[in-house]
Structure formats: structure tokens, C-alpha cells
Structure 1
Amino acid sequence: MTTPERARPARAPRADALRNRDRLLAEADRLFAAHGTGASLEDIAKQAGVGIGTLYRHFPTREALLDALLQQRFEQLWGRAHEAGSGSPYAALAAWLREAAGQSTAYRGLPSSIAAALRDTTSHLNTSCQAVREVGARLLAAAQAAGEVRTDLDGTDLVLMANSAAWLAQQDHAEDRLDRHLDVLLAGIRTPRRVE
């Protein structure tokens, strides 16, 4: 008697499928870094030595491919939040915001993709973006509870601030101004210190 299709356990991916996926990710990272998030998916598949159908089997949309690439970058942001136990909550939040903005400059056009994914719940990138937002929101809440940061902000504001600084830095190749943009944003969210 054969096992019904639904009852069969899921098979582990074949070794060649895993190699193809790894090659696709490596080429996507290279081409997105060189040409931005609008780089040709056909070129990515060709450079990886596979057909476009193989790319779509692994990554059904451009956002799914971006999401897979950004998982490692986003894990650094999640790690930053877990390391934030020492020091002031504001310092932890500021470090996280700088890291988030830096990650958003990885590929030209990425800030726009992240901003769109925050609004589009059907995007493959939405879940990761929401997870990053929640981590930032926890750091923000701690800084707000300590009275170090304005209370009229939320996690979405933080992600959009990081994205806006990254977007500005990508305009006219002004990446060297990213820290300056972030300094201005961070000064704007800081609670004014009272003079005694």
C-alpha cells in the first residue's frame, strides 16, 4: 500500500538545489550591490548558471529574493537589540538606528523597497520588516520609559527614519553624509534636558 501524498514527510532539498540557491543568492548580492535592487533577475540567473525558472522556484518574487538576502543583515539588528542591556537606553537605541540605516544602504533602492514592504502585507519582505520594526519598538519603549526619548514615536517611525537617512545618503552618492543625517534625526527624537 502506498503512502498518500499528504501523509508523506517533506523531503529535504537536494544538494544541487541548495547549491543553486546559494549561487543565486551570491549573484543577487553582487548584482544588487552593483546595480541596485532593480538589477535584472534574468542576469542574476544567468550569472548563477541556472535558468530563470530555477530562480523563480526558489524566489517567486524580487521581494522574496531581497528578503532572503536581508535575513543575515536583519539578524545583526536583532542581535544589536539583545546586546543593549548595558548603557543607557538612548545609547542602545541610537546604535540600533545607525545599524538599521547602514543596513538599508546595502543596495541602491533598498530603502524604497523596505518602505513599500512595511505597507504591503502581501510582500515577502513584510514579515522581516515588521520583525525589525518590533525590535526597534522595544528599544524605543525602553528609552521612552527612561525619559530619554520623545513619547510620540513608534517602531514604524524608527524604521522610516533609518530608511529616510539611508535614502538621502544614496542620493548623489552622498553615503559619507549618512552619519550627519542620523545625528540630526537623533537630536530630533531626544527629550530636551532640563536646566536645573
Structure 2
Amino acid sequence: MEHVKPLRADGRRNRERLVAAAAELVARDGAQASLEEIARKAGVGSATLHRHFPSRQALLEVVFREGVAQLCARATAQPGKNPAAELAAWLEDLTVHTSTHRGLAAALLTGPEGLSAEDICCTDMVRDVLRVLVDKASSAGAIHANATTEDLMRLANAIAVANEDDPLTARRVLRLALTGIQP
């Protein structure tokens, strides 16, 4: 096993700034966001970007995974006092995130490094979080008994795809759809 030397504090800060800048610019410009602009926005040089991320694919993978991990962490941090509202709020977050970052996963799958769907797919993580929220809302009688995790995943994904790069419309359409799942 290869030993990876931990980053110094300044290296960690540079990496964090690069990921934050990349997330912002990928959300605005898509997966083909300018690497030079990402480095500039992060306040580092192009060489620093390439030291941390040897390829566009490596950077996109981190942006994608971190975004999904943050999304899932927000769901688990909810207090659990209003399961229906928490489910609806998280579905909105999921739909907006997917609408805004839709091209990211596709870019990773078609990139030169040939990452497989299994290498980048966070679907299981999202599904597990959603399943917990659906179970809580269902147990509280806050949603129809036949509303399943898979149904809500499809609903959020379909709305995101239909409203790619338009998160405000995606949120509005999801809210309209969710009024149909309330008992």
C-alpha cells in the first residue's frame, strides 16, 4: 500500500479553495468550466491546480462527490420534528442540486479517464438518505402510503432533467408535484 503524505495546512486550504471555486463555476458554466478561471477564482496558479488535480476529471469527481455528500449530510442533520416538511425540503435540495449539476456526472462518464458509473455514482447514498426520510414521513402518516422512495427519486430526477440549468423552475415544479403526495 502506498503511503500518501498528508497535505500541509496551506496545501489543504488551496485544495479546499479549488474545490469551492470549481463547484461554483461548474454550477454556472457546466463541466467544461475553465480550469484557468477556477485557479484564478481560488487565488492560486494553474500549476497549483494541476498539482492537486492532475486532470479535469479528477477535479470534477471531487466536486461531484463532495456536493452529494453535503446534500446527504443536510438530510441527516434535520431535527426530525416535522417529517413531511423535512422530506419536502430535502427533495427540493436534491432537485435543485441535480438540476444545477446535471451535466457533471455525464462529463465524468465520458471523460478520457473512463470512470465507470460505479466509480462516481452516489445514487445509493442519496437513495439511503431518502429512504430514511420517506420512512419517517410515512410512519407519521404525512405522505400517502403508496409513495415510495423510488417514486420520489424518479420524480425529483425527472423534474431536474426537465429543468436543467433552471433551479428556480425546478423548485417550483417540485413544490407543485409534492402537494399531490400530501394526504
> Is the TM-score greater than 0.5?
yes
Contact 2:36 2:46 in 1 (8 A): no
Where do 1:101-112 residues align within 5 Å? 101-105=95-99, 107=100, 110-112=101-103
Shift of 1:10: 5.8
Match of 1:91 among 85, 92, 96: 85
Correspondence 1:20 to 2:14? yes
Which residue is 2:45 aligned to? 49
- Aligned length in residues: 171
Correspondence 1:30 to 2:24? yes
Tell me the TM-score normalised to structure 2 length.
0.69
Cα separation, 2, equivalents of 1:160 and 1:115: 18
Contact 1:78 1:132 in 2 (8 A): no
Contact 1:45 1:55 in 2 (8 A): no
1:116-146, Cα deviation, whole Å (9 max, x unpaired): 99x92221xx24x422321111111233344
Cα separation, 1, equivalents of 2:24 and 2:145: 39
- Structure 1 or 2, whichever has the larger Rg, is 1
Give the 3-state SS of the residue equivalent to 1:170 in structure 2.
Answer: coil
Where structure 1 has 5 or more consecutive residues not aligned to the other structure, the ranges are 1-5, 192-196
Match of 2:153 among 154, 159, 171: 159
Which residue is 1:64 aligned to? 62
User: Closer, same or farther in 2 for the Cα pair 1:114/1:165, shift >3 Å?
Assistant: farther
Tell me the TM-score normalised to structure 1 length.
0.65
Which residue is 2:173 aligned to? 181
Shift of 1:22: 2.1
Question: Looking at both structures, which has the greater relative contact order when contacts are Cα pairs under 8 Å and sequence separation is at least 6?
Answer: 2
Contact 1:140 1:149 in 2 (8 A): no
Where structure 2 has 5 or more consecutive residues not aligned to the other structure, the ranges are 109-115
Match of 1:121 among 118, 121, 129: 118
Shift of 1:49: 1.3
Cα separation, 1, equivalents of 2:105 and 2:74: 16
RMSD across aligned C-alpha pairs, in angstroms?
3.5
What is the one-letter code of the residue matched to 1:50? Answer: S
User: Closer, same or farther in 2 for the Cα pair 1:114/1:91, shift >3 Å?
Assistant: farther
Percent identity over paired residues: 28
Cα separation, 2, equivalents of 1:153 and 1:69: 24
Give the 3-state SS of the residue equivalent to 2:6 in structure 1.
Answer: coil
